[in-house]
Amino acid sequence: MKALKFLLPLLPLVSSFSHPGLVVAESDLTRLRGKLSAELDPWQACWNKLVSMPPANIPYTPQAVSSVDRDNEANADLLWQDAAAAFTLALRWRVEGNTSYADAATAILTSWSEKLISIGTNDDQYLVAGLQGHQLANAGELLRDYIPFRENGLDKFRTMMVHVFLAKNIYFLEHRDGSEHNVKHFFANWELAQVASILAIGVLTDNTTTWNFAVDYFKNGTGNGAINNAITNIVQEPGTGNPLGQGQEEGRDQGHSALDFALLGVIGQQAWNQGEDLFAYNNSRILLGLVYPISINVIIFFSPTHRAEYFARYNLGYDVPFEPYTNGIVSYTEISHASRGDVRWAWEVLYNHYVMIKGQKAPWTTQYLNKTYETFGGFEPGSGSSGSPRVSGNYDTLGWGTLLYHLNESDVTLIRDSSTTGSAIHRSSTPATSLVKIQEATTSIPVNSDFLLVSATAVPASTGKPYSKEHHHGHHHHNHHNHHDYNSVSQGPGSCPSLPKNQ
């Protein structure tokens, strides 16, 4: 039972984590308060969207139950709706200082802590464990300094997160479930969700053993949640020869590939805020993948940026090379056009990290961020901001990237001036938040001359072979996996055509 070592320590092992330090750091909150005080767009426009949503307002009634299920009872929407509400309410408290929002968020988390026992028995339990696990942990992380929650709710909440969510996360990544006879059985989004959740719960519980497990799996794991398996091949971009990273789900459909990038952004940012630079790991493999899907979507093999570039290029309507893929269960000989052009809230964190902070070239990621702005009205929104609350794809990640990560040149200067490297350093030395002290800046956002201008109102022109939307087609999926109804195709993280849903 080797997983037990991750479950036993509920009390902090080492006080070396920065708090808050998951998808939101104190520096993000400080910067956001300044932007809103000056009523600057796009931050203000995005904030107006957030505060207009019923789940971000009070009163809010928690919907906690003892058991949730994505399949049989089909009531998991109660959990993902409440997780989104807890996060947005906690964020409002951190930004505005009104304790009524903190009280409402506290009520949500404590209600679930007191009732939730089971998150299902079939394979879909792992989707709940990963997707809602990292979301709930992020809400709790924002609330940890609120005295009523810290004194009367935090311990019980952390106990639930460890026993109900972390236990499933670890079990799944140790491939102990019978359906994991092939360690690459499950698509990348399933395992990436577990990595995101384990990282988040590790910080929430101040457990370095848990944290290190997730980091090690991301770098060296055997399943598709390890970055070298999530990005399966490095290919060359037509015309330039630049490396692009082919994502594991590119032959399946673009909606799930987009989810992979959204989760890679969560993983990368959570690690970055603790001084672990997974964005840069293995030659920025995440970025390589981004390029592949955007052209088909935009993503590159060696880094999150390269993977993102692949995905972005493809999904903007341009061709990308595709290497045949098989995991021994499914085989793909060509890239999928299904849900091509899919837009998720994933691109602010990727663009601002790679292009703005690090000064890397990511032209397709830049264009895909523009596509996001065009789709959502000038900013990147977040969980629950569009579509039916019953559809899981509208709640797979927390989002709100424009509020949390959008930077202008003055912001970047402050970040770089506060660190000689402009990137995270190892967590054991200095907390990431001590490296980044961002103050209010009022200048408009410039983009390096090597990149196209990011505009909230226009998508810049690009070169290459355009994609005809007439060729767009979808896959048929199980209804309980339906996912992002705000786009042209509905499908879910776990579904797959012509195969059992758990593949």
DSSP string, 240-255: T--EEEEETTTTT-HH
The pLDDT value given to residue 416: 83
Residue 301 has pLDDT above 50, yes or no: no
Instruction: Supply the CATH number for residue 415's domain.
Output: 1.50.10.100
- Alpha-carbon distance of 91 to 93, in angstroms, equals 5
Q: Determine, yes or no, domain membership for 420.
A: yes
* Cβ atoms of residues 308 and 302 within 8 Å: no
CB within 8 Å of 227: residues ≥ 6 apart: 218, 219, 264, 278, 281, 282, 285, 286, 304
pLDDT at 242 over 70: yes
460, amino acid identity: P
Contact between residue 211 and residue 270 where contact means Cβ atoms under 8 Å apart: no
Position 472 in a domain:
no
Residue 473 lies in a domain: no
Q: Is 486 exposed, middle or buried (0-12, 13-18, 19+ CB in 10 A)?
A: middle
Residues 227 and 231: their CA atoms lie apart, in Å, by 6
Q: What's the rounded mean pLDDT across residues 204-225?
A: 97
If pLDDT is split at 50, 70 and 90, which confidence band does 286 have? low
Separation of alpha carbons 114 and 159, rounded Å = 10
Total structural domains in the chain? Answer: 1
Cβ-contact 174, 6 below 8 angstroms: no
Residue 487 lies in a domain: no
The answer to whether residue 179 is domain-embedded is yes
Please give the pLDDT value at position 71.
82
Dist CA 243 CA 100 (whole Å): 50
**Residue 67 above 60 pLDDT?**
yes
Q: For tokens 């009634």, name the residue.
A: 61
| pLDDT of amino acid 496 | 30
**Residue 362 belongs to domain spanning:** 4-467
Separation between Cα atoms, residue 37 and residue 41, nearest integer Å: 11
Asked if pLDDT for residue 497 goes beyond 90, the answer is no
Residues 6+ positions from 231 with CB-CB distance below 8 Å = 245, 246, 247, 248, 285, 286, 288, 289, 299, 300, 301, 302, 306, 307
Instruction: Identify the band that residue 361 occupies on the pLDDT scale cut at 50, 70 and 90.
Output: confident
Question: Which carries the bigger pLDDT value, residue 72 or residue 370?
Answer: 370
346 burial via Cβ count (<10 Å: 0-12, 13-18, 19+)? buried
Q: What is the pLDDT averaged over residues 205-216?
A: 98
Listed in sequence order, the residues at least 6 apart from 365 whose beta carbon sits closer than 8 Å to its beta carbon are 287, 290, 291, 294, 298, 305, 308, 309, 312, 347, 350, 351, 354, 355
Banded model confidence at residue 287, pLDDT cuts 50, 70, 90: low
Report pLDDT for 434.
24
Tens digits of residue pLDDT in 106-162: 999 999 999 999 999 899 999 999 999 999 999 999 999 999 999 999 999 999 999
Contacts of 379 (CB under 8 A, 6+ apart): 41, 42, 43, 45, 46, 49, 373, 402, 406, 456
Return the closest-CA partner of residue 384 out of 376, 372, 375, 393: 393
Which pLDDT value is given to residue 475? 32
Residue type, 152: N
Secondary structure of residue 457 in the 3-state scheme: coil
- Residue 65: Cβ within 10 Å count: 18
Q: Kindly report each contact of residues 415-418 with a partner whose C-beta sits within 8 Å and lies 24 or more positions away, as own/partner.
A: 415/357, 416/357
Amino acid occupying residue 463 = T
Residue 495 within a domain: no
Assigned domain for 481 exists: no
> Tokens representing 284?
């920025």
H, E, C per residue of 19-36: CCECCCEHHHHHHHHHHH
The span from the CA of 319 to the CA of 294, in Å, is 10
The two most distant CA atoms of the chain are separated, in Å, by 60
With vertex at residue 220, the alpha carbon angle to CA 219 and CA 221, rounded to the nearest 5 degrees, is: 110
111 within some domain: yes
Interatomic CA distance for residues 201 and 196, integer angstroms: 9
Q: Is the predicted pLDDT of residue 420 greater than 50, yes or no?
A: no
- The count of residues in the chain is 503
* Average pLDDT score, the chain: 81
* Residue of higher predicted confidence among 286 and 218: 218
What are 163-191's pLDDT values in tens digits? 999 999 999 999 998 888 899 999 999 99
pLDDT of res. 181? 84
Is this prediction's pTM over 0.85? no
